[in-house]
Chains A and B, each alone.
Chain A
């Protein structure tokens, strides 16, 4: 076999194997995604009710007074700060 023939054989096998490998990978990835999404869905992340919307607009002032969450006051402070920062950013971007 001449060198060029060897090169051609290498090219054909090479391309074929690369494509075969990645096509197999596509099938496996799709299969795993279906399985994971069906049987092991990711639980929605629970957002604790400390977001400024809940705390500031909520008309239940008693809710913070339960004392079950000692950090609530600080969280409200942080939430309010974030809300203020978002409002400032929104105002800035509208200029």
Chain B
């Protein structure tokens, strides 16, 4: 009897023998993400699947994240993240959940959504500069994908990266989603730094009522502008506006309901697990990852800053309709978290100042803005590369 050999075979197939230190570290990181999600309630909808995916992907021998071994998360990743499908499905759901009303009522806040995209391009330059150092190897494609983290829009970041530099999908997706979760921590100090107490207390006039017809015409006109100016952005903008029209038209409530709930929830599960699974030790524990995390943070902070500064600049030109510069910070997408943060910071100065609806304007403008920026990167980078 080969009992000895059988026991040895079993021993060699236990997790205990096959763990590498990197896998142990990444499983601890996954547990850390779960702790943040469950105990600290940081974006649990994202961090629970991501954290769990990170744990599953680092189990030795199981090959859960390996597509060629038919690992189940590997299959999810291959079929929806690698080709950019899941981000677009998420965008449909986001569109169906978005109310462009505040933006239509106060269209000039659209410009704040543009200002906050500065961070994308500053981080792009930063990544190129890092690429010149001997330790880190970033080309223009990588730099564009890293910059888009500054759009603070997870689906957009994943979509662009899957097109431009798929090898960086893991760290970029993790950075994009972590910074979205960390909005309440990253943004307020920057917002306070660039505004005075008086500015933070500015009250804005109430938004007018927006008719249904305006809400129906808005997604269509955005799509038309996009078709004419920037076809490379139409997958993202098209998905967003389809979802929004399904909601605002009022005639396909069943579809809108599915987009807002069932579809986006299912895709969030798939996307979260897939993103988490890219936190594999051998791919993740590199110097490049650290660079991406730092640059992402810089991109995000600069976007917040430029949004606030442009809002202040707008006040210089229009004395009658003052805007509270805090709402500029919401220009970095991250819907609706960034708008909630604006409201909270505003209420710290004046508990009776309700900025939430005002901040929703730049907030949804930021989604359009980062989709447009993504379209530009997708259009120009391959030409240079």
Are A10's CB and B124's CB within 8 A?
yes
Please determine whether B107 and A29 come into contact, CB atoms closer than 8 angstroms. yes
The residue that A3 contacts in the complex, of B104, B140, B221, B377, with Cβ under 8 A, is B140
Check A18 against B369 for contact (C-beta < 8 Å): yes
A21 touches B211 (CB 8 A): no
Considering only residues 58-74 of chain A, those with a C-beta below 8 Å from chain B are: none
Q: B173 CB to closest chain A CB, in angstroms?
A: 22
Partner of A32, one of B122, B140, B214: B214
SS class of chain B's interface: helix, strand, loop or mixed?
A: helix
Q: Which of B114, B125, B140, B222 has the most CB of A within 10 A?
A: B114
Residue of A15, A40, A42 near B118 (CB, 8 A) is: A15
Is B279 positioned at the interface, with any CB of A under 8 Å from its CB? no
On whether the beta carbons of A28 and B225 are closer than 8 Å, the reply is yes
Is A25's CB under 8 angstroms from B368's CB?
yes
Task: Say yes or no: A40 contacts B213, CB within 8 Å.
Answer: yes
Q: Which residues of A, 1-58, contact B by the 8 Å Cβ criterion? A: 1, 3-4, 6-11, 13-15, 17-26, 28-30, 32-33, 36-37, 40-42
Question: By the criterion CB–CB under 8 Å, are B376 and A17 in contact?
Answer: yes
Q: Which residues of B contact A15 (CB under 8 A)?
A: 114, 117-118, 121
User: When the two chains form their complex, are residues A14 and B377 in contact, meaning their CB atoms are under 8 A apart?
Assistant: yes
Query: Given A13-B380, A18-B372, A42-B213, A6 and B111 touching (CB < 8 A)?
Result: no
Cβ of A22 and Cβ of B129 under 8 Å apart? no
- Known contacts A17-B372, A42-B211; decide if A7 and B143 are in contact (CB<8 Å): yes
A4–B217 contact, CB under 8 A?
Answer: no
Interface string of B120-148 (1 = CB under 8 A from A): 11101100110110000001100110000
* B328 within 8 Å of A (CB atoms): no
Measured CB to CB, the nearest residue on chain B to A40 is: B213
Q: Is B167 an interface residue (CB 8 A)?
A: no
How far does the alpha carbon of A41 sit from the alpha carbon of B212 in the complex, in Å? 10
B residues within 8 A CB of A19?
Answer: 111, 114
Determine whether B269 belongs to the interface, using a CB cutoff of 8 Å to chain A: no
Inter-chain contacts of A3 with B (CB < 8 A): 128, 131-132, 139-140
Chain A residues contacting B140 (CB-CB under 8 Å) are 3, 6-7, 10
Let me know if B261 is at the binding interface, CB within 8 A.
no
Give A11 to B218 CA distance when docked, in angstroms: 28
Q: Which residues of A contact B131 (CB under 8 A)?
A: 3
Number of A-B contacts (CB under 8 A): 117
Point out the residues of chain B lying under 8 angstroms from A18, CB to CB: 114, 117, 369, 372-373, 376
B side interface size, CB within 8 A:
47
Q: Is the CB of B114 within 8 A of A42?
A: no
**Residues of B contacting A21 in the complex (Cβ-Cβ under 8 angstroms):** 114, 225-226, 229-230, 372
Q: Is B21 an interface residue (CB 8 A)?
A: no
Identify the closest chain B residue to A12 (Cβ). B121
Contact A25 B217, CB 8 Å, known A17-B372, A19-B111, A37-B211: no
CA distance A14 to B129 in the complex (A): 18
Q: Which residue of B lies closest to A42 (CB)?
A: B211
Which A residues touch B111, using CB under 8 A? 19, 22-23, 26
Residue from B121, B217, B226, B376 within 8 A of A36 (CB atoms): B217
Q: Is the CB of B376 within 8 A of A40?
A: no
* Bound-state Cα–Cα, A23 to B119, Å: 19
Residues of B within 8 A of A28 (CB): 221, 225
Could you tell me if B384 and A6 are in contact, using CB atoms closer than 8 angstroms? yes
Chain B residue numbers with a CB within 8 Å of A20 are 229
Given contacts A14-B117, A26-B111, 14 further A-B contacts (CB under 8 A): A4-B125, A6-B128, A10-B377, A11-B122, A17-B229, A18-B114, A22-B110, A25-B225, A29-B104, A32-B214, A33-B107, A36-B213, A36-B214, A42-B213
A: residues with CB less than 8 A from B are 1, 3-4, 6-11, 13-15, 17-26, 28-30, 32-33, 36-37, 40-42
Question: Chain B: residues with CB nearer than 8 A to chain A?
Answer: 103-104, 107-108, 110-111, 113-114, 117-118, 120-122, 124-125, 128-129, 131-132, 139-140, 143-144, 209-214, 217-218, 221-222, 225-226, 229-230, 365, 368-369, 372-373, 376-377, 380-381, 384
25 contacts between A and B (CB under 8 A): A1-B384, A7-B140, A8-B125, A10-B140, A14-B117, A14-B377, A15-B121, A17-B376, A18-B114, A19-B111, A21-B114, A21-B230, A22-B113, A23-B110, A23-B111, A24-B225, A25-B225, A25-B368, A26-B108, A26-B110, A29-B103, A29-B110, A32-B218, A36-B214, A42-B209
